[in-house]
A and B are shown apart, each in its own frame.
Chain A
Amino acid sequence: MDIQTIDHLCELSKLNFNDEEKQKVMEEMSAIIELMDTVKEIDLTYDDTKDNNSIKYSEVRKDEAKPSYPTEKLLSNTEPQDNCYVVPKMVE
């Protein structure tokens, strides 16, 4: 676990840390990854067809449209403009 890896993870996670925090995070993450490394000891292969969480096609939802939600209520946790969510300008 080095600063470069932490920087990459911060990019993937969209998180900022100052240098001091980053140092601490790196130390913690090193210890955590060490704990995670225990899974490498065991020799197992994953077979997704053996998970018993699948359902039958006949159990999948029927295609039926229902009324949507009131726009105002959906947007009640933000300050919308023209019933849209407002974002800093995205460059095309």
Chain B
Amino acid sequence: MDINKVSLSGLRKALDNKEISAVELAEEYISKIKTVDPEIEGYITVTEEQALESAKRAQELIDGGDSRPLTGIPLAIKDNICTDGIRTTCASKMLESFVPPYNATVIEKLNEQGYVLLGKSSMDEFAMGGSTQTAAFSKTKNPYDTDRVPGGSSGGSAAIVSAGTAPAALGSDTGGSIRQPSSFCGVTGLKPTYGRVSRYGLIAFASSLDQIGPIANSAEDCGILLNAVAGTDEHDATSARVPVKDFNEKIGQSIAGMKIALPQEFFGESTDEEVKQAVTDAAKEYEKLGATLVDCHMSSLKYAVAAYYLISGAEAASNLSRFDGIKYGLRGEGRSFDEMIRDSRSRGFGAEVKRRILLGNYALSSGYYDAYYRKALALKQQIIKEYNEIYEKADVILTPTAPTVAYRIGEQETDPVKMYLADICTVTVNIASLPAISLPCGYNSDGMPIGMSLVGKRFDEATLIQTADAYQRNFAAVPNKYRA
């Protein structure tokens, strides 16, 4: 069996048919990680021992005929999702030696199925960034070109799936952090509707926007993973009380008659010509499949980046205040509480995290709150309104996932404003709590993957997976050298 050419359903069959044992499968991935990951640096922590142990237990389940979709399936988990007894760093010096004493709800759910944890994947520090270069360690490279960034913040998860050092992974998406790295690394990433997946145990960046979701080789695989982790959680009051059905139930159904909207503002001059072309070509493919393209507008898009950074910054400033070195994390020095926590925080946080904290406190501080934070909340309502208007005449929305393909390391990520503006295509989805999926739709002249995003109505992930799958069936993906 070639692990470079497998799907989650393929692995399931192979395991259930005893073509390969769960332990053998885990060993194959561990061995590939050892060869490939030193170049990619997708993992912060590889949990070889635990992987083999849980694979053994998984095999018992399989042998007992009790296998479930993810029993014995190896996965990578973004390093901001708490794993009991396993270091969880957020790629930050602050949490370099933090070992959570509890599991995130998604981990509990995966454990119930008997999944196999290969390791914790790298990310931008505290999920703040779009390059995985703000990581304090394991600054992940793009498998299509290791001189380029994998995107971020879930750059580790995306690069791992892209390089085949795990068949699928969990990431988290606050302003595009699943979709943009998926786009840069040529894989499929799904950001679920806000509330679809419990955030309990996800180390918070911006609580009103954060959402855990799958990164995989296909929309179908994303659906399998989402099936396992979605659902109401008593530990997360913002988790939706919406019943979870099989997210893959619409796969294979015709998309004839589906209305796909293309908001013009997403195809503006800041978007690369090659990217625009690839997404437009994909739209034509959908027409061939019987869909109708609908022209539409999102006039408040030009304010979206600012609104996003104000809201996420404000929440981040508050969420990250708990890192004071007293209860966990890097403990600084100082004779007083004030001196000590300043030292802890100044040494523990990297430059980008500090910028977000400063920005957030600026937006919330007295005298600025109404002009910035409150205005951002008003914009959130406006953006939701504009999405609702689009959905009155369309079923899904099609946009580029990012204005560009993956850029070279050192090219862009040092200019914060430039980095922030690059989030233009993804942030409104989080602001409006919508689900979206990014999938490859072509390659540019340098051979770098181009991603497109399908944005759905709230809780309509099934239609997104159906629509993405319809395209993927005819799409000829070009694997990178690690998958060849």
Contacts and interface: CB of A to CB of B under 8 A. Distances in A.
A75 B300 CA distance: 47
Contacts of A87: 326, 337, 340
Say which size band chain A's interface belongs to.
Answer: 35 or more
Given A16-B346, A25-B355, A44-B382, A39 B306 contact: yes
B362 A9 contact: yes
B365 interface: yes
Nearest to A46: B378
Interface in B315-332: 317, 321, 324, 326-329, 331
B337 A90 contact: yes
Contacts of B331: 78
A47 interface: yes
Nearest to A45: B378
B376 A50 contact: no
The interface residues of chain B, by DSSP majority, are classed as helix
A74 to B, nearest CB: 6
B359 A15 contact: no
A82 to B, nearest CB: 15
Interface string A1-44: 00001101110111111000000010011011111111111101
Contacts of B302: 38
A13 B358 contact: yes
Contacts of A9: 358, 361-362, 365
A77 interface: yes
Interface in A40-78: 40-42, 44-48, 50-51, 53, 55, 59, 61, 69, 73-78
Contacts of A75: 327
Nearest to A70: B101
A50 B342 CA distance: 39
Interface in B341-364: 341-343, 345-346, 349, 354-355, 357-359, 361-363
Interface of B: 97-99, 101-102, 234, 237-238, 241, 300, 302-303, 305-307, 309-310, 317, 321, 324, 326-329, 331, 334-343, 345-346, 349, 354-355, 357-359, 361-363, 365, 371-372, 374-379, 381-382, 416-417, 420-421
6 contacts: A12-B365, A36-B306, A36-B372, A40-B371, A42-B382, A78-B327
Interface of A: 5-6, 8-10, 12-17, 25, 28-29, 31-42, 44-48, 50-51, 53, 55, 59, 61, 69, 73-78, 85-88, 90
